[in-house]
A and B are shown apart, each in its own frame.
Chain A
Amino acid sequence: MEEKRKIYSVTELNRAARFTLENGIGEVWVEGEISRMILQSSGHWYFTLKDADAAVSCAMFKQNNATVVFTPKDGLNVRVLGQASLYEPRGSYQLIIRKMEEAGKGSLQEQFEKLKAKLAAEGLFDPSRKKPLPLLPQKIAVVTSPTGAAIRDIINVLTRRFPNLEILIAPVTVQGDGAAKSIAAAIDYLNSYYKNVEQASRLLINERNARSTLANPSVEQASRLLMNERDARYTFFNPNLPLDIHERTLPHWKQENATYFVTFRLADSIPKTKLKRWQGDQDIWLKNHQIPYSDIEKSEYHQLFSEKIQDWLDAGSGSCLLNESANAQIVRDALLHFNGTRYQLGEWVVMPNHVHVLVTPHKGHALQDILQSWKSFTAHEINKRIGQTGSLWQHESYDHIVRSPEQLQHFENYIHDNPAKAGIKVEQASRLLINERDARSTLSNPNVEQASRLLINERDARSTLPIDLIIVGRGGGSIEDLWAFNEEVVARAIFASEIPIISAVGHEIDFTISDFVADVRAPTPSAAAELAVPVKTELETTIARLAARLGGSLQNQVHVLRERIPGFRQTMIHALTNNLRQRQQQIDVNSRTLAECLKNAVTIQKQRLPGLQQTMTHRLESAVASKKQNLRRLEVQLRALNPLAVLDRGYSLTQTMDGSVVRDVAQLKKGDLLKTRFVTGSVTSEIISKE
């Protein structure tokens, strides 16, 4: 009997139970209510799924929960797809969850179909509501993530097809919580952008004024967008990412890509006795409290230590060396020196005995190193300048990781208001800040400097351009990744947009609600860019071709007319020659008649009165002279009409200023302007007199 008994170890039992569960039940859909939700800092989720009578432990690991499009919390009814399993170390039965949907809402596909049907019924996809895309947009706005392949592709294609084009990027988050709202807010804002710019440019005196008035007409919209922009621009403290805490006198929290509020101060800025007591108090506090601190503990720490030290600093103890502008300038230069290369500065201010900075270190540059480089460089320079040695700065700096947009705003305001708070006259303080802003905006890096100079020069002409096309989209991803583009708020924003919108979400096979509502759907972001602008060189060719045809057809017409000119010339010569001959004949006839008359007269005279002969001769002579004169006048007239002389001068076309050809001198009067066209050009002349 004994030999036949199968003895399991506990491990074996649990393993066998696990196999039984996994193979016997396998992957199943389960619906229930979430309770005891724990979002671990590792990124994994642990919770209990229950109904009225039973409960089961659940785990959803990071790689799976990343696709959940809502935030699960206690009390929420969900439908999960999970593998029944067993946690062997404890022998506890659990579900390993792969998918989670909100129970009331149905699957994403069902939600998609439902919204699609609803919006279709409302007419949001109606082809008659779609706006045509402009042939040649001058300014295109792109609503997408400022990082990632989509924006790169769009910019590449746009600039390749049409090298001179304004592109305005509205940075948004394209997936996860709040993405849909940020996209919708950006579309709304872009629609008000031109109105803002127009209004701004009316008030515009210089670029700075334009900036400060830019957002005023729609502060609400602007502030709605603000949070999203901030999110894109700053990385906030993320409780789920690794955190590096190292201690000197103060605990310093470090996390990659995070932004820090940093204060460093002159060595003599706080009296030593005070500082010692403060440090003593702080040591005790730190010993009595364990990390992680609760919110109450954090706020207590802040009040007891951080705020106190700021107040002492602002009291202005010590030498206040930084009151001297040359010293402050050294600090300012040091801060700006690596801005944009090793780190990105936010708001900052140099106070008489301390410095506040919002700084985001770039990858590979540790905050300690940046601080060290600022402090050692400025200490060396300032000491050299004022001829002193020894430590200029307090050894330790105060740094605070920025945890949220609200906190960033708080620090920005703090820095901004610090001079006033410390009792520096407001006028002086604002000058200090403005100077620093100027320095920052132009000195921070050579490209920006150039760019901003360019901006100032061209802003007046260019920033007032309306946005005439919006591209909304993102690169490929799972249905969960693309979900923001299936949300109603985005669909409504697209529908309400007065500016035509191209939707470009994911790959060719992905269809989203945005695609249906947009004026044009592009299969990919690159394709959207191709749809957005024509190829510039093709347009140039078209224009060149039209220009050639334009000139060509006029030339043809002129050519045809010119061909006819020799014919006219011939005809005129003939006509004139004939005329001349006829006249000559007439003269001949006249001469003959004259001769006959003469003969008769002579005969008569001879017959009648020889005495009259002389008189007759005289008369005859005068008659001949008169005829000769007549003839000469005719000759002169003829010469004036000589067609060759006219032709030698070339043909010209005389027009009045309204372009009509002058055919009748009666339509002209003194003082009228005439446009005379020659083969080689044209002149404008004025009628001085009229016969």
Chain B
Amino acid sequence: MNEKTVDFEKSLERLEALVEEMESGDLPLEQMIKHFEEGSKLVGLCSAKLNEVEQKIERLVKKGGALTTEPFEPEK
């Protein structure tokens, strides 16, 4: 899956599953390391996803014959 389109929800679920498996203590070290690596990557992705988009509030407007967006300020 392309990293940009990773589903936040699925990432979080996978992370939970990894942690649970690792905490069960049944994993061989090799598998443990693999889980850790994958888990670390998911933590990074999830955090990035949370901060990815800067706040942007826009409204649809018509400009030059086409629909487009422009910044929106609600009336105070």
Contacts and interface: CB of A to CB of B under 8 A. Distances in A.
Interface string A311-344: 0000000000000000000000000000000000
A659 B29 CA distance: 11
Contact of B66 (A216, A536, A659): A216
Interface string B43-76: 1001101111111111111111111111110110
A553 B61 CA distance: 52
Nearest to A135: B9
Contacts, number: 160
Contacts of B70: 448
A539 B75 CA distance: 30
A540 B50 contact: yes
Contacts of A451: 71
Given A168-B69, A222-B66, A551 B46 contact: no
A186 B61 CA distance: 12
A167 B43 contact: no
Contacts of B27: 557
Contact of A226 (B43, B50, B62): B62
B61 A233 contact: yes
B68 A554 contact: no
Contacts of B57: 155, 159, 166-167, 169
Contact of B15 (A152, A155, A546): A546
A660 B54 contact: no
Given A215-B66, A543-B43, A659-B33, A465 B60 contact: no
Range class of the B interface residue count: 35 or more
A165 interface: yes
- Quick one: which of A189, A556, A557 has the most chain B CB within 10 A? A557
A211 B68 contact: yes
A155 B74 contact: yes
A166 B53 contact: yes
Contact of A229 (B9, B39, B52, B61): B61
A419 to B, nearest CB: 15
A276 interface: no
A557 B32 contact: yes
A135 B61 contact: no
A448 B71 contact: yes
Contacts of A171: 59-61
A178 interface: no
Given A135-B8, A136-B9, A539-B50, A214 B66 contact: yes
A583 interface: no
| Max chain B Cβ within 10 angstroms of own Cβ: one of A169, A171, A229, A463 | A169
Contacts of B39: 546-547, 550
Best-surrounded residue of B19, B60, B63 (most CB of chain A within 10 A): B60
A147 interface: yes
B51 A164 contact: yes
A213 B63 CA distance: 12
Contacts of B32: 553-554, 557
A280 interface: no
A547 to B, nearest CB: 4
Contact of B60 (A159, A168, A557): A168
14 contacts: A146-B59, A146-B72, A165-B53, A166-B58, A167-B56, A168-B60, A170-B59, A211-B68, A229-B67, A233-B61, A233-B62, A458-B54, A554-B22, A554-B32
Interface of B: 8-9, 12, 15-16, 18-19, 22-23, 25, 27, 29-30, 32-36, 39-40, 43, 46-47, 49-72, 74-75
Those 10 A-B pairs whose CB atoms lie nearest each other, nearest first: A169-B59, A553-B22, A550-B39, A215-B66, A135-B9, A547-B43, A215-B67, A451-B71, A554-B36, A167-B57
Interface of A: 134-136, 138-139, 146-147, 151-152, 155, 159, 163-171, 186, 189, 211-216, 222, 225-226, 229-230, 233, 437, 447-448, 451-452, 455, 458, 462-463, 465, 536, 539-540, 542-543, 546-547, 549-551, 553-554, 556-558, 561, 655, 659-661
